[in-house]
């Protein structure tokens, strides 16, 4: 019996049937014929969902990384929701120099959470600091604003246990949705997905979504900016901002890792204001795609 078999029907249905390379993801019960793979930059250690990597646990320890910048009120709700998930073994809250008592709130609401203060600014740097602090086998990226449903975590973990290297949340996969996306952002997202898929030969349906999970051993492949360097002031350093999800997806695709999309429903932020600037951050994502394409070509030519 696989972990997918042990899931409630609702969670099992969230597993999309295609991975981001457009390949059908074989069901453990009904294996399909082998599919061709996109070019890999590194020796492939990829596994297929019906043949999980034997070096990885069938019952992984799950670390949830929560980037939080002025999210005290939301953490009052979000941390108990994570604590209520039996599959979660560790929560790492990464504070972005908040001025609303985010860290104090986290310590009070969840005394056993790991609390980290990020070294520079930006969501990307926060996540990199969180990834460096985890002790689990699996990392779940989980926003602190109340938009992510902790009840979906088992579906992400099941996708990984079934053989994916990365479980990519998608609001646009069948069964997904969003209460929080404007028409402008929806069109912007679709355009960015199309550019990414054209450049990387992928079939991402939601490039910029922040709810994703992966095996901790994938962090090395991501080659994120080092966290030890201090902030030099001025603009947020490259890789430290909201382009982080794009960087992650491009590097995972370039390395030929196996990605399974997991349908996810995004809720509206509960309290507070967004840190995202639609046009500025959208442009940053576009520039990131170009830079990541050059990086992938360079790595392949070595
Ligand atoms: N530590 C840290 N967390 C951040 C930073 N920027 C954003 N975050 C967190 O990252 C998560 C996502 O940020 P949001 O501002 O909600 O951006 P979004 O989800 O893309 O946009 P909306 O939900 O539509 O407002 C939230 O939990 C934020 O608190 C940062 O610089 N440092
Ligand atoms: Mg949000």
* pLDDT single digits (tens) 75-94: 999 999 999 999 999 999 99
C-beta of 180 in contact with ligand 1 (< 6 A)? yes
Angle between helices 278-301 and 183-200 (to 10 degrees): 10
* Mean of pLDDT values over 237-256: 94
Looking at ligand 1, which residue's alpha carbon is closest to its atom 2? 96
Q: What percent of the chain has pLDDT over 90?
A: 71
pLDDT digits (tens, 9 = 90+) for 219-232: 999 999 999 999 98
Q: For residue 6, give every residue at least 6 positions away whose Cβ sits within 8 Å of its Cβ, in sequence order, or none.
A: none
Expressed in angstroms and rounded, the spacing between residue 142 Cα and the centre of ligand 2 is 10
Expressed in angstroms and rounded, the spacing between residue 143 Cα and the centre of ligand 1 is 7
C-beta of 128 in contact with ligand 1 (< 6 A)? no
Where does the pLDDT of residue 47 fall: very low under 50, low under 70, confident under 90, or very high at 90 and above?
very low
Going along the chain from its start, the domains and CATH numbers come out as: 55-229+244-301 (3.90.550.10)
Which ligand has its closest atom nearest to the C-alpha of 277? 1
**Average model confidence (pLDDT) for the chain?**
85
- Token reading at 214: 């992966």
For the entire predicted model, the pTM comes to 0.85
Question: Pairing relation of β-strands 15-19 and 259-263?
Answer: antiparallel
Expressed in angstroms and rounded, the spacing between residue 273 Cα and the centre of ligand 1 is 9
- Token reading at 251: 């590097």
C-beta of 240 in contact with ligand 1 (< 6 A)? no
Atom index in ligand 1 nearest the CA of residue 121 equals 31
C-beta of 126 in contact with ligand 1 (< 6 A)? yes
C-beta of 145 in contact with ligand 1 (< 6 A)? yes
Q: What percent of the chain has pLDDT over 70?
A: 83
Q: For residue 71, give every residue at least 6 positions away whose Cβ sits within 8 Å of its Cβ, in sequence order, or none.
A: 78, 98, 100, 102, 144, 145, 272
C-beta of 97 in contact with ligand 1 (< 6 A)? no
pLDDT score, position 20: 52
C-beta of 123 in contact with ligand 1 (< 6 A)? yes
Which ligand has its closest atom nearest to the C-alpha of 65? 1
Where does the pLDDT of residue 50 fall: very low under 50, low under 70, confident under 90, or very high at 90 and above?
low
C-beta of 117 in contact with ligand 1 (< 6 A)? no
- Token reading at 161: 């246990």
């Amino acid at each position: 019996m696989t972990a997918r078999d042990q899931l409630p029907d609702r969670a099992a249905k969230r597993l999309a049937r295609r991975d981001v390379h457009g390949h059908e993801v074989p069901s453990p019960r009904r294996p399909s014929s082998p599919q061709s793979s996109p070019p890999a930059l590194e020796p492939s250690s990829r596994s297929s969902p019906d043949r999980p990597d034997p070096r990885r646990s069938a019952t992984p320890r799950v670390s949830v990384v929560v980037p939080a910048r002025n999210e005290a009120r939301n953490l009052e709700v979000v941390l108990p929701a994570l604590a209520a998930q039996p599959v979660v073994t560790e929560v790492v809250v990464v504070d972005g120099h908040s001025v609303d008592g985010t860290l104090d709130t986290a310590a009070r609401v969840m005394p056993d959470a790991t609390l980290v203060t990020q070294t520079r600014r930006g969501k990307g740097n926060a996540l990199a600091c969180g990834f460096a602090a985890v002790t689990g086998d699996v990392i779940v990226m989980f926003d602190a604003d109340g938009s992510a449903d902790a009840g979906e975590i088992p579906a992400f973990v099941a996708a990984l246990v079934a053989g994916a290297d990365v479980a990519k949340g998608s609001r646009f996969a069948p069964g997904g949705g969003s209460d929080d996306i404007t028409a402008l952002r929806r069109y912007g997202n679709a355009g960015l997905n199309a550019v990414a898929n054209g450049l990387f030969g992928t079939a991402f349906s939601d490039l910029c979504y922040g709810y994703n999970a992966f095996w901790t051993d994938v962090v090395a492949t991501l080659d994120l900016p080092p966290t030890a360097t201090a902030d030099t002031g001025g603009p947020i350093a490259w890789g430290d901002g909201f382009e982080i999800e794009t960087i992650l997806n491009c590097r995972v695709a370039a390395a030929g890792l196996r990605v399974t999309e997991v349908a996810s429903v995004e809720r509206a932020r509960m309290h507070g204001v967004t840190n995202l600037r639609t046009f500025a951050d959208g442009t940053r994502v576009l520039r990131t795609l170009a830079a990541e394409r050059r990086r992938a070509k360079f790595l392949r030519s070595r």
